[in-house]
Each structure stands twice: as structure tokens, then as C-alpha cells.
Amino acid sequence: MVRTVDRHGWRHVKCLLLVLFGAVLMSGCDHHHATDKTPPMVTIEITGAGPPLTVSQNPASRRIGQPDVVEITANGEDDDGAMKSVSLAGDYSATCVGDSSGLAQTKTGNLYAENPVGTSSPGRTPHAMAVKLSVDIARLSTCSAGYSFRALRGTVTAKAENVAGGKEESASFSFDHLVLRVATFNISHGYFDGEPNAFTDDQAALSRWITFINSVDVVFLQDVDRNASRSGGIDEARVLSEKSALGYYHFQPRCRLGFLGLGGEYGIAVLSRFPLSDVRSHDVPATGTTSPLPVCGGQEPVVIVEAVIEFGGERHHLFGTHYNHRGDQEALRIESSRLATALIGLASGPVVFAGDLNAEPSTDEIKLLTQSLNDSYVSAGARLSCESETCIPAASDCCAARIDDILFREAAYSPLTWRTVVNTDPTDHAFNAVELALR
């Protein structure tokens, strides 16, 4: 007996066959777009301002010494499926300081680039996409008139998303560009050669000095009096610190002034925008000792003041001094440089050494220092700026006959500009300053 299938039963059979046939076809299809749950891979490639750098899952950072253009490329890739989008986004903040006021000003902005959704960059397959962002460090570091740049910090994050699973992966990169402004200034204890004293008789001159000091972050001072009768009993370093934006200072006496040393003290000082720590002084033995403090006259002891500031997450070692000035004291200046070199060798990290060294660059005492330190004037090269056609002493190059120096450890800084101001009456020394970009 043959069993037949009625019309309704045949309909069920056809449906079953279609389902089975469809399953067979589907089993041979690549349908990972509907089931892929693996996130795409994203990387950031950085070129410019240093060796190439690739960033993936772990965040990375870079300190930028020279104000170059940094190219940041975000790459998104999915080996199993198509990419949907890749984007780069971030922000930055830049700090500028008023040249006259010393007050800080901050500007902020966004960094943004995005690939059109669902498309790939030229030359890329649908499995990979990329987007590029150019960051012009010089442009972002530009300040308003009357302000000078100090710090730029930024962060960018790359995000990549695939089509199928809607999965997103990200990577981040941060950067900074930091500048420390350092100066050296011999103030001739407030006056020179019978001119009115800037602290007691010439407020216009004192205001100019404050303006100079406000334009930097650290200034080393020489020929500084404290409570000396000859300069009106003024604590000069304290006054300059209180009237300027450099609210931290240290005065180091070299000797006592006046009859039997009862007329106050004479020495050197350092003023800073940042707190000073680990402050100590070092006598140059060949020149005498400051303990006990001798009476001034003839040969004063040479002292080297050492202090530390924190800036940009690093400890910067500052050394300031004032060498003997007489022509027959070259041997003592060489001994001072020997001690300075030894002290610098003990300091780790960034180092700045500055002061009135009473010696020109070609002398042995300066050559000894430049065996381990760089001359910021020379390193600044073509980015040299002098604010007068004449210098004291006169020279064809207004900054050539230098006895006031700022030296630095090369591994820590990139000098950007050198500035000399010679209209500094009533002192006979120029105000010398340098911009040091942290490396």
C-alpha cells in the first residue's frame, strides 16, 4: 500500500526542505559581520619633535624640546571585518606670563580630527582606516603681546570602531612643551659710581628692574647688600622678591661691611618663581671662608649657592656665584671653576650654573666649566636678541664681551633665545636672560 501525501502535508515537507537547504548554504557563508565581537586594534603613530613613536594600549607621553610640528596618526584595523570609523580628539592648555606683571595667563583649546564615518582613507582596505592630526607646537605656544610662553600641555585619544560588533578600542598620547626662563644680573648694590640708589632714590630705575625680573622664572643676583648703611639699610634681595612675581629668595653673604663689619652684609642671591629647597652654600677654600663671616675689603671669599626647584615634574639644580674680579686673581677664578665642576658632577638631572664670572668665554676658567656644561649664549645661536647697539664694555657685537654667564647641562635643556638688556642704570651690568626648553 502506498501512502500518499496530501496537499497540506506536502506544504510541510517543502518548508522543511527549504529550511534544511538554507542551513546548508548558510553554513558555507562568511557571516562574521553579524557575530564578530572582537574589538578592532588601534595605534597612534607620532613623528616630529623626536624619534618616531608608536602607541597602542598603554598610554605614552613625550616632552617636546623644540617648537616643531608634531604629526599624530591614528590607525584602526580589524582583520576579521570592516572598520566603521577612526577618530582623534583631545585638548590642550597653554600658560603665558606677563613680561611686566609676572602674572600667568592660560588659554585652552581642542584638538580634533575624524575620518568620515564608514569610509576608508586612500590606499587603505575596508579592514583598516587612518586619520592624521598636525599639532603646531609653535602656534599653540604663541602668547598675546606683552606675555611670554611658559608651558603647553595636551592629550589626544584615538578611537576605532568596527562595523559588525560595534566594538570600540582606544589609545592615548600626551605631550608637553615647557620653558624655564633664567637670568643673571649684577645690581651693583643698588647704584654705581655715585648714581642715585635704585632702592632709596630712583623708583623709576627700581620699577625697570622689577619688570626685568618679572620676565623670568629664576634670577641670580650679584653685588647684593643686606642692611648695609651704604645702601640705605635695605635688604635688597627681599625687596626685589616682594615687589616682583619671584616670591622665593635666598641671600648668601660673602663678607661684612663697614667699620669692624658693623655696616651690614654683602653677597649674592637667587630669586625664584618656584619654592627653593635644599639650599646650601659652598666656600671656595682658596679664596677664604665665610665661617666666620670676614670683614669686606681686598679679597672677599667666593661662595657658590646651590638650590633646587621643581618644574615640569623634575628637580632642577641651580648654582649661582660671583667670581673675583681683579686681573691678578685668575688662579682663584680657576679654583672656583674646579669646585663648581665638582659640585655639578654630584647633581643629577637638570643643572643651571650662572653668575658674574668676571671672565670672558676664551679664558681658562670658563673653558673648565664648559667641559661639562654648555654656554646658553652660544647654544642659542641665531636666536640671539640684544636690545641695544652698544654694550658695557663696548664691543662690535653687543653681547660679545660677556662676563655674566648662564651655563646648562645639555641633556636637560634646549636653549631657544638669549636676551641682553643694557639699559639697566644705575648698575654697570647688563641683564642677561635665556629661555631653556625642557627636553
Give the pLDDT confidence score for residue 387 in this predicted structure: 57
State how far the alpha carbon of 302 is from the alpha carbons of 66, 85, 89, 164, 406, in Å: 36, 66, 55, 75, 18
Mean pLDDT (whole number) for 240-251: 96
Rg (CA), the chain: 33
Give the pLDDT confidence score for residue 67 in this predicted structure: 81
In a domain, 420, yes or no: yes
- The kind and range of the H/E element at 83 are strand 83-98
Mean pLDDT (whole number) for 351-355: 97
For residue 28, name the pLDDT band (cuts at 50, 70, 90): very low
Q: How many CA atoms lie within 13 A of 313 on its CB side?
A: 9
Give the pLDDT confidence score for residue 392 in this predicted structure: 43
The letter for the amino acid at 159 is K
For residue 437, name the pLDDT band (cuts at 50, 70, 90): very high
Instruction: Check pLDDT > 90 for residue 346.
Output: yes
- 179 near 437, Cβ under 8 Å? yes
Closest CA to 438 of 349, 343, 308, 307: 349
Q: How many CA atoms lie within 13 A of 416 on its CB side?
A: 21
Residue range 173-183, pLDDT digits in tens = 999 999 999 99
- What is the domain-level CATH number for residue 252? 3.60.10.10
- 268 near 220, Cβ under 8 Å? yes
Which of the pair, 163 or 170, is modelled with greater confidence?
A: 170
Residue range 252-266, pLDDT digits in tens = 999 999 876 678 999
Which of the pair, 114 or 307, is modelled with greater confidence?
A: 307
Instruction: Check pLDDT > 50 for residue 70.
Output: yes
Label the pairing between strands 60-63 and 168-186.
parallel
Q: How many Å is the maximal CA-CA distance in the chain?
A: 144
- Do 172 and 194 lie in one domain? The reply is no
Give the pLDDT confidence score for residue 55 in this predicted structure: 86
Closest CA to 82 of 117, 43, 120, 126: 126
State pTM to two decimals. Answer: 0.83
In a domain, 279, yes or no: yes
Domain of residue 397: give its range.
Answer: 187-438
> Which one of 157, 178, 199 terminates a domain?
178
> In 10 A of CB 220, how many CB atoms?
29
- 292 near 311, Cβ under 8 Å? no
- The kind and range of the H/E element at 140 are helix 137-140
Instruction: Check pLDDT > 70 for residue 384.
Output: no
Residue range 190-243, pLDDT digits in tens = 988 778 899 999 999 999 999 999 999 999 999 999 999 888 899 999 999 999
- 339 near 282, Cβ under 8 Å? yes
Distance CA 433, CA 408 (A): 13
- Do 367 and 384 lie in one domain? The reply is yes
Q: What is the percent of the chain with per-residue pLDDT over 70, rounded to a whole number?
A: 83
Give the pLDDT confidence score for residue 34 in this predicted structure: 45
Tell me the backbone φ, ψ of residue 326, rounded to 5 degrees.
-70, 145
Cell numbers 542551513: residue:
23
> Of the ranges 136-145, 304-313, 326-335, which is most confident?
304-313
Q: Average the pLDDT over each of 267-276, 317-326, 420-429 and give the range with the smallest value.
A: 420-429
Rounded to the nearest 5 degrees, what angle is found at the Cα of 271, between the Cα atoms of 266 and 275? 130
The letter for the amino acid at 98 is G
- Do 192 and 331 lie in one domain? The reply is yes
Give the pLDDT confidence score for residue 10 in this predicted structure: 47
In a domain, 18, yes or no: no
Give the pLDDT confidence score for residue 27 in this predicted structure: 45
Instruction: Check pLDDT > 70 for residue 118.
Output: no
State how far the alpha carbon of 160 is from the alpha carbons of 133, 252, 275, 402, in Å: 15, 59, 44, 56
What strand order describes the sheet that includes 374-375? 277-283, 303-311, 314-322, 351-356, 404-408, 374-375
- Do 346 and 255 lie in one domain? The reply is yes
In a domain, 214, yes or no: yes
Give the pLDDT confidence score for residue 327 in this predicted structure: 74
> Which one of 178, 197, 221 terminates a domain?
178
- Do 137 and 229 lie in one domain? The reply is no
- Do 387 and 352 lie in one domain? The reply is yes
Structural domains in the chain (count): 2
- Do 413 and 283 lie in one domain? The reply is yes
In a domain, 323, yes or no: yes
The letter for the amino acid at 48 is G
- 97 near 88, Cβ under 8 Å? no
- 408 near 354, Cβ under 8 Å? no
The letter for the amino acid at 384 is L
- Do 139 and 220 lie in one domain? The reply is no
Residue range 33-59, pLDDT digits in tens = 444 557 788 889 988 877 888 888 778
Instruction: Check pLDDT > 90 for residue 251.
Output: yes
- What is the domain-level CATH number for residue 43? 2.60.40
In a domain, 400, yes or no: yes
Number of H-type helices and E-type strands within the chain: 8, 21
End-to-end CA distance of the chain: 97
> Of the ranges 13-17, 69-73, 344-348, 400-404, which is most confident?
344-348
In a domain, 310, yes or no: yes
Q: Mean pLDDT over all residues of the chain?
A: 84
Instruction: Pull the grid cell for residue 168.
Output: 570600540
For residue 123, name the pLDDT band (cuts at 50, 70, 90): low
Give the pLDDT confidence score for residue 122 in this predicted structure: 56
